[in-house]
Structure formats: structure tokens, C-alpha cells
Structure 1
């Protein structure tokens, strides 16, 4: 990346002086006040893999999720409400397609099993009844369709209030949806892989504004911004080189993003480390970045803090060190969030059957070094070859929920590992959202909804004008897991 471009990109961010404060990783006592508690799994539900959306195309599961708090009510039998479920860029095993980005509205009825109790026999996976009610397409600022196609080497020049944006060979803005935050006026913030950018869409799905990340996260090839992810569409060429030289790694953009409960702060987290910070290898990509924005004006997000978050490390089936990339976050306060991280290529629909890491952690930023606006946002790597700069203290990370817990899964007729059937958890768990238990006796209790991204894997698929059968022969349902958790004081944060 050239110095002049970096200065241009950095000039849009609020520069904050870095401070150094000691912290001990994995030390739960550093969390302010009482720590959150998980009471366990209380509900499971499915949407069939061959579900079609309102446009007759295969329903795209959940890369992001946002429950509508205004719709959430308690009933005689349980709870009901609606949520937005955000699919990503479409079925793309052999390259990306001209799939139109969209949001699905889902009506939910939850009949939870009491924490620790056995579900009713024969109804182990019917605690969540989820029905598609509406699909809305996302459009650019002119009202034109956007696309899931890889932007190859395309860049739409900055225009009006919009910065430069990823552009496909057909001239459409490329968008790979990953996370969604619901705003009070019905509009939404959506983060993506390609930019990696944060977009504000109006309630009718039209693009209003876009926010670029700090310069250190912008993917660069041969000294220029290049948003390709090495998944070219029909007739398009692969990028050269195939990987960015600096910035976000291919398909490792702003995977997690969430607003704090008061709506004033937005936190976005890169899926794994930038290329210059060890992101060129699955064994050294541990040091990712959390961006904290002042969201008082969502069309002019201001970067106020930036921190290093060290992702979970585990030993894979071959005995090698691997890093679990993060897939989603739920913001609890301006300095804390839940983070879902997982391994890859294991689960129903994949060749590997046993996941070695799928978990939700508590992340505390309060004692981490703030690197916003520092040299680490320009030319200086914060973790060259995956080794964190000694001047930087990372966030605290504390294990919270193990999604692979055998006993919890067995209660609901599920498992992790062989046999690799429809009751084996699928590979990608990428969506989370909270809803209150609405119990005056349990004012700090919430339901944590977690959903998978099924990668549109079905043997009865239809998308972009053509039928398809997913690779591997599996029909991977959209699945919801619901946990009951206690988060002290969340409503007051």
C-alpha cells in the first residue's frame, strides 16, 4: 500500500492515542461486574434445506441475524417474534454468481425446554418454529441491483458521499453480507467480506452510505486496492496475485458486527488477522482486530478505538496448530462482546465429520491497548508472522459456551462427529442475537439464538435462473440453537 493512499484512508478515522495497560488473557475476573452465565441449551429448530424465498430462489440460511425487540412477546406456551436472517453471496462452489443480496424476515415461535431438563420425546428439535414471511432485496444508492459476484479487479470510484466500492465485471456493486444490526427506524447496518465495509441501508433496502475500515484492513495488490476474493464468476479471471499482499485475507472480512444495547456504539471484528499480521497462514492468523465506532450518526461512523483480539488456537486432526476464525459477535457494552469462533471443513455437508472447535467466548476490551490511528493502521504490522508486537496488550478472552458439548447436543438428538448425518452439526455457525426471557423474576436472563450458514447446500436448489444440486449430496437445513443465559446489568449498559 502506498503511503499517500494510507494517509487518505486514515484521514477519515478519528485518531486516538494508544495506551498500554496490563491484562492477563483468559482471566474472567477482569470483566466489569458479575460475569455472564450460560444455563444451557433450551431449544432447537430447523428450516428445510430446500426452502425457497419470496423470489423462488433457494433460501440462504444465516450469515447474520437480528431479532426485532419490538415484536418479541411472551405467550401462554412460550414466546413469539420476528427476526432478520441475512444470507451471504449465494451458492458458489465453482465460483461466485450474480446472486442478488437480500434479507429474509422470519417469524419465530419458541417453546423452550427448562434448562437442564429433557425435551418431550419426539419433539427434541421442534422447540423453535421458524417460518419465512418476506424477502427484501438490497439495492445500491441508485436503486440498482447489487451482486454476490466476486469483484475480481473491479473498483467503483468514490462518488458523492460514497467511498470507492467493490465492483463486479457486470458493473454492479459486489456485496458479501456477513452481519446485520437493526436500527430503531427500520434501517440496518450490514458488514461485508469484500471491502471489508460497513453499509447503511434504508428500511426499503436502498444503500444510504458506506464506511471503509482503517487503511491497514483494505486489501492491496500491487500497490492498489483490489477487493477480489479469488472466487471469480463465469468468464472472469482470478486476481494476480491470488491473495492480497496486505489488508484482509480473502473471505476473511468483517464477519462479526453488532450495536451496543444503547445503540450508541458499533463494534465490528475482522474474521481473522490481516495478511501483514500473520493472516497469510491458518496457523498464524490469531491476532485479529476489533473496530469500535461512535454510531451516533450511522452515515458518518467515527472510529474511536481499535484493539487486537487473539482468536482461539487448537490442534487439528493432523496434530498441527490451527486458529478458529470468528464468525459473529453480540455487543454487550462498548468494551465487551460475545464472540463465536469455529474451525472449518468439519460437520454435516463436509468431508470431515468432527469439529474440533466451535465456541462462544466473552471478550473484554477494557484493558487492551488502543491502536486506532497509530502506525499499526498504516505501514507497521501489529503482529508480523503472527507474533504480537510487545507494546500491544490484546483483549481478554474467556470461554463461555461450547457448541460441541456432547451431553447438551445429545439431549436434543444432535451430535458432533460420526455418523455424518443430518443430526451432526453443520460446519458454519455464523449468526447470533439476544432476546429477553421477559420474566420479572429473571430480569437479567436472555435467550441467545445461534444459527448456521448452510452455504445453500441442498439437492433441490434453484438460484440465478438455474436448478442445482449441492456438492456432496447433503441437504443441510438451516438450524437454530437457543441458549438461556444470564447477563447481569445488560439492560442498563
Structure 2
């Protein structure tokens, strides 16, 4: 372990960053600047009790640098837009769930229900972060999509209300985008949580196709774009709001890599809460069909030291929020709670078990993968991980959800500010690695 030199901007205080394998030579917190901040301002909503919510776009749900683009060019994406858990509406807004959510504490309030998930092109440099372009995602007919929940029956969904407590109609075309990649032909790939699904988007923002777990395409028949059930059906057992949050694209554009955010609810919530087995897939970009399926083993919650010191942590607090491709079937995976973020290198194959099409993909298998504490005893070998970097404190924000490599030795991380629901601002940090991750 060693303390690393940091460059700090915007008055941020220094702290140590440790790296047992690959380290960082410099860490720079980048300023968004007044012009960028102005473009991200969404306006405000006033609730019935007089509470004013001033929204700011959060573009930190996913990030990607396309090889061959200028060194500072980065693509970033928003999620579904501002939303507030009805169970927490009292603490955030000062109104009751009865008043705003018809008493449904499992629902969400969408203060800006017409918000359109958007892909941003950013320029990253010493002067800070500049927005170059904003591309709203659209349906096949050119209508801006919303981030409202889908009308799902094969898996669970959630109710939605506006800021006046009026129920919102589910939207079959709605997307909760959580990761982005850009292909050589200019099209985009995004991952999203509702399905969960992988979505191919044309360079003009129109959805070309949405790949979902087998069977779920029937629930989304009313979507204003093509929906195909190509992913393993077992993925529909994702925990609500814990779908696919990480996505990578191979250098040749032929292969996608995606991981669930958390273990599946398989067979039940009890298994999800205690399991450390997250499913990671290699996918054929041409067909949307899975090629391989592996187990990514989460670290124990107690090992996320800053979070553990701040209070009690549970295994279900651990999340896989992003990944970046660093070589052929080699990925660096972002694993976090909130205050502590870890970056692990994994190589697909390399002795790990391929579960695709096996009994572990059958929901009738008992005990399930997620309910099996000793996978090795069942002949399942998870992916082997190498810890590359641990980031916490100092210039590093909480809730890092985006990572991208600008070149082989320059990493950018971005936080998700949740649209400033509680006043948080997006933070962008550039890290000069002391050696490449590949």
C-alpha cells in the first residue's frame, strides 16, 4: 500500500488513495464550469406544500471513450430522470406517501415525467468538462422516449406518480438507461434496468432494437420500436432497480459485455440479500444472443471500509455499477457500495465455469445459483478477480457509476448525482494510472 500524489481542483481536500496492484500517478477533480452547469439546469418543480425542487441533469449513469476519437472525447448518459422513492418522500419533500403516492410506498414520484434519457458527448481537458452535444433517445417514429416504468407482468415493476400525486401511465417504450458504448459506425449501445435489457440506438437517437430476457418481449409489444427476447429468461428475475448497469463493447464491435447490478431474486428475496453471485454475460452484438455466462463474485460488504466505518452494511448494498473493456475478454469491473469503490480486473474463460444453457439458468433448479453458498462444491468456478484500485475520500465522490479509459493510462470516473434530488452535484475525476490495466 502507498499514498499517491494528487492534483486537486475546486478546493477539494486531499486524502490517500491505495492501490495494491496498479496505482495512480495523479488524480484530478475536474470543474464542470458555469457554462456546463447552465446547460444541465432543468428548472424547478414546486410541490403542494411549497417545497421547491431545483433539478440538475445527472449524466453519470454510464460513460465510454471510443477508440480513435480525440483523447478528451467521452460519451455519457443519463438514467430515467428525477425520481423519489415514495417510502422516502417525507424526508425528501416533507409530504406523506398517502398524499403523493396514494399510500403506495413501493412506488416512485417522477417530478419531471416527460424527461427524456439523453446521451451526452463531452470534452474532458485541463480546463474542465464541456458539453459538446446532447442526443435525446427517441422511438422508432421519432418520439422522445420517457424514463417511466414498463407495463411488466413477467417480472415486477413499480407504480409512478407525478409531483401532484397523479398516477402516471406505464410506458412500454420507457427506458431506465444505465450504461453506454459507441460503435465505429456511430450507433450507440445502452444497458437498462427495467427489463433488464440491451438497446441498440442509431446515431440520430432512434432505438433500433431492444434485447430483453426471453418472454418479456410479449409485455413490451406496445413499444414504438422492435423488441426481441434473446437474453436468458432467468435475467427477468432481476431485483427491481437492480438490472443491467454495466456494459462494454469489444474493440472490433462484435461483442458486448454486460453484468447485472446485483444477484438475482432467485428463487426469492432472501437469496438475493445474501448471495454474492452476480451474472456477467458475453453477448453477440449482431443478434443480441448470449454467448457465455459467468459468475462474478462480489466482495464481502464489510470489505468496503469507508462504508463499513460509516455504519452497518449489508451484502445487498454491494453493486456492480460499470465495466470497461481493456483487452480481448478482459474487463475491469467497478464494484461499490457508496463511499468505497473498487476496480477489479477479470478475464473471461480462464478456468471459470460457463453457465449458459446449464441447469443454473433454469428457475426450477433448487437450490438456485443465488441460494448456493459454496459454488465450488457444486462444480461452479467463478471468475478470478485482481484488485487494481480502491478509491475512497478526497477528490473521489460517493456513488461512482461511470468509468471510461481515455487512453491506456488515463481513467475518468463520474458520479451519479440523482438529478440533485438531495442537492448533490455531478463530479468528474481524471486519474493518471501509473501503468496500463491491459
TM-score by length of structure 2 reads: 0.70
Structure 2 unmatched runs, 5+: 1-19, 44-54, 86-107, 155-167, 221-233, 303-307
Assess, with a 3 A threshold, how the Cα gap between structure 1 residues 338 and 279 changes in structure 2: closer, same or farther: farther
Indicate the residue corresponding to 1:25 in structure 2: none
| CA distance in structure 1 between the partners assigned to 2:169 and 2:29 by the alignment | 41
Indicate the residue corresponding to 2:301 in structure 1: 314
| CA distance in structure 1 between the partners assigned to 2:412 and 2:269 by the alignment | 29
CA deviations over 1:243-290 (Å, ceiling 9, x no partner): x99700011111111012332321100001110067656741310101
CA deviations over 1:123-142 (Å, ceiling 9, x no partner): xxxxx610112211101122
Indicate the residue corresponding to 1:428 in structure 2: 399
Show the 5 A alignment for 1:224-243: none
The partner residue of 2:116 within 75, 94, 100 is: 100
The partner residue of 2:416 within 433, 449, 453 is: 453
Show the 5 A alignment for 1:91-490: 91-94=82-85, 95=108, 96=110, 97-110=113-126, 129-153=128-152, 169=169, 171=171, 173-213=173-213, 247-276=237-266, 280=270, 283-295=273-285, 297=286, 300-315=287-302, 316=308, 317-318=310-311, 321-323=314-316, 324-344=318-338, 355=339, 357-365=340-348, 366-379=350-363, 380=365, 382-385=368-371, 387-389=373-375, 390-404=378-392, 409=394, 414=395, 425-436=396-407, 445-457=408-420, 470-471=421-422, 474-487=423-436, 490=438
Assess, with a 3 A threshold, how the Cα gap between structure 1 residues 214 and 171 changes in structure 2: closer, same or farther: closer
Contact 2:277 2:370 survives alignment (8 Å): no
- What is the number of equivalent residue pairs in this alignment? 344
Q: Specify which structure has the bigger relative contact order, considering alpha-carbon pairs within 8 angstroms and separated by 6 or more residues.
A: 1
- What is the Cα deviation at residue 319 of structure 1? 5.1
- What is the Cα deviation at residue 213 of structure 1? 3.8
| CA distance in structure 2 between the partners assigned to 1:51 and 1:428 by the alignment | 23
- What is the Cα deviation at residue 52 of structure 1? 2.9
Contact 1:447 1:485 survives alignment (8 Å): no
Task: Classify the secondary structure of the residue corresponding to 2:56.
Answer: coil
The partner residue of 1:89 within 77, 80, 90 is: 80
- What is the Cα deviation at residue 318 of structure 1? 4.9
> Relative to total residues, which structure has the larger helix share, 1 or 2?
2
CA deviations over 1:64-100 (Å, ceiling 9, x no partner): 1122433324xxxxxxx32111011111125233321
Contact 1:279 1:386 survives alignment (8 Å): no
Contact 1:146 1:173 survives alignment (8 Å): yes
Structure 1 unmatched runs, 5+: 1-34, 74-80, 111-127, 156-167, 227-243, 345-354, 415-424, 437-444, 458-469
CA deviations over 1:404-450 (Å, ceiling 9, x no partner): 1x6xx3xxxx3xxxxxxxxxx543111111122xxxxxxxx421111
| CA distance in structure 2 between the partners assigned to 1:68 and 1:370 by the alignment | 29
- What is the Cα deviation at residue 320 of structure 1? 5.4
Runs of 4+ in 1 over 6 A off after TM superposition: 54-57
Assess, with a 3 A threshold, how the Cα gap between structure 1 residues 331 and 245 changes in structure 2: closer, same or farther: closer
Show the 5 A alignment for 1:25-104: 37-47=22-32, 51-53=38-40, 58-73=56-71, 81-94=72-85, 95=108, 96=110, 97-104=113-120
Task: Classify the secondary structure of the residue corresponding to 2:199.
Answer: strand
RMSD, aligned CA: 3.2
TM-score by length of structure 1 reads: 0.63
Higher alpha-carbon deviation: 285-294 or 93-102: 93-102
